[in-house]
Amino acid sequence: MPPTPALLGLDRAELAEALSSADRPALRARQLARWLYAGETDFEKMSDLPADVREALGERYVASGLVETRRVESEDGVVKVLAHGGDEESFECVLLPYADRVSCCLSTQVGCPMGCAFCATGLGGFDRNLSAGEILGQYFLLQSISPRRISHVVYMGMGEPLLNYPEVVKSIRLFKQEVGLSPRHITVSTVGIVPRIRELAQENLPIHLAISLHSTKDEIRNSLMPVNQKWPISEVLSAAKEYVNATGRKVTFEYLLIEGVTDTIDQAEDLATMVRGFPSLVNLIPFNYVSTGQGFKRPAPSRITQFRRTLESLGVNVTQRRERGHRIAAACGQLAGVHGGRFARRRSPSDLSVLS
* Active-site hit among 92, 134, 160, 178: 92
The mean pLDDT value for 135-155 works out to 97
Last residue of some domain: 39, 60, 81?
60
Q: Are residues 28 and 171 in the same domain?
A: no
Rounded CA separation 45/22 (Å): 18
Residue 124 has pLDDT above 50, yes or no: yes
DSSP 164-202: GHHHHHHHHHHIIIII---GGGEEEEES--HHHHHHHTT
What are the helix and strand counts (H, E) for the chain? 11, 12
Phi first, then psi, for residue 68 (nearest 5°) are: -80, 130
Cβ neighbourhood burial of 296 (10 Å; 0-12, 13-18, 19+): buried
25 and 71 in a single domain? The answer is: no
Answer whether 228's CB lies under 8 Å from 221's CB: yes
Q: Which pLDDT belongs to residue 230?
A: 97
Give every CB contact of residue 304 below 8 A, 6+ residues apart in sequence. 257, 263, 284, 286, 320
Dihedral sign (CA 109, 236, 222, 117): negative
d(CA 253, CA 189): 9
The total number of structural domains that make up the chain = 2
- Judge whether 104 counts as a catalytic residue: no
Residue 18 region by backbone torsions, left for phi larger than 0, else alpha for psi between -120 and 50, else beta: alpha
Report the CATH number that the domain containing residue 268 is assigned in CATH. 3.20.20.70
* Total residues belonging to the chain: 356
**Percent of the chain's residues with pLDDT above 70:** 90
Conformational region of residue 315, where left means phi above 0, alpha means psi within -120 to 50, and beta covers everything else: left
CB atoms within 10 A of CB 79: 20
Q: Is 92 a catalytic residue?
A: yes
Query: Is 91 inside any structural domain?
Result: yes
Q: Assess if residue 3 is contained within a domain.
A: no
User: Residues 50, 85: one domain?
Assistant: no
- pLDDT score for 339: 45
Domain limits for position 338: 67-355
The reported pLDDT for the residue numbered 343 is 40
Question: What are the distances in angstroms from CA 243 to CA 171, 194, 199?
Answer: 20, 10, 9
Contact (CB, 8 A) for 119 and 290: yes
Pairing of strands 79-84, 67-73: antiparallel
Q: Sheet harboring 186-190: ordered strands across?
A: 67-73, 79-84, 91-97, 102-105, 152-155, 186-190, 208-212, 251-257, 280-286, 318-320
- Judging by beta carbons within 10 Å of its beta carbon (0-12, 13-18, 19+), is residue 63 exposed, middle or buried? buried
| Predicted pLDDT of residue 292 | 67
Cα dihedral 199, 201, 202, 203 sign: positive
Catalytic, out of 93, 104, 119, 332: 332
Average pLDDT, the chain: 90
> Is a pLDDT exceeding 70 seen at residue 342?
no
pTM recorded for the entire structure: 0.90
pLDDT average, residue stretch 3-18: 95
Quick: pLDDT tens for 164-180. Answer: 999 999 999 999 999 99
User: Does residue 154 form part of some domain?
Assistant: yes
Residue 149 shares a structural domain with residue 34: no
> Does residue 106 share a domain with residue 216?
yes
Asked if 22 and 113 sit in the same domain, the reply is: no
Q: Place 353 in a pLDDT band, splitting at 50, 70 and 90.
A: very low
Quick one: 34 and 173 in the same domain? Answer: no
Picking from 39, 52, 130, 125, the residue whose alpha carbon sits closest to that of residue 339 is 125
Give the tens place of pLDDT for each residue, 282-328: 999 999 877 767 789 999 999 999 999 999 999 999 999 776 555 54
The reply to whether 29 and 94 lie within a common domain is no
Q: Is 145 a residue whose pLDDT tops 80?
A: yes
Contact 65, 134 (CB under 8 A): yes
How far apart CA 305 and CA 183 sit, in angstroms, is: 33
Q: For the residues of 254-292, what is the DSSP string, one character each? A: EEEE-TTTT--HHHHHHHHHHHTTS-EEEEEEEPPP---
Q: How far apart are CA 161 and CA 168, in angstroms?
A: 6
Range from 5-9, 19-23, 26-30, 94-98 carrying the lowest mean pLDDT: 19-23
Q: Are residue 139 and residue 266 in the same domain, yes or no?
A: yes
Distance of CA 120 to the CA centre of its chain: 15
